[in-house]
Amino acid sequence: MAALEQGRTGLAEDCARADLVVTPVPARGECQDKPVIDRFDTWRNGSYAVWLDPERISIESVRDWRGERPWVPARGPERAALSSAGTGPPAGPAP
């Protein structure tokens, strides 16, 4: 299950129940063992594509898809990439 949290009020509950949390507010450290896409992730990495399969969630950002470029600032070391790019077959067009 994925959760879209619009504010900070329900973030802890969503972290406990959802497999993926997407929020426009900063969510650093809120969900320790779950993937979270927050405002800083989209600022650093652009848009995200998310595939929800019964066995796993696949996540790929525009930055992951396009690769590192000399003119794009480096990703900060404090937050690892959420992407599962490179761990499976390349994504095709949306159905």
The pLDDT assigned to 71 comes to 77
Strand runs labelled E in 41-93 = 48-52, 57-61
**pLDDT tens digits for range 58-81:** 999 988 888 777 877 666 654 555
Q: Where are the domains positioned within the chain?
A: 2-66
Residues 6+ positions from 85 with CB-CB distance below 8 Å? 60, 61, 64, 65
Q: What is the pTM of this model?
A: 0.67
The pLDDT assigned to 76 comes to 62
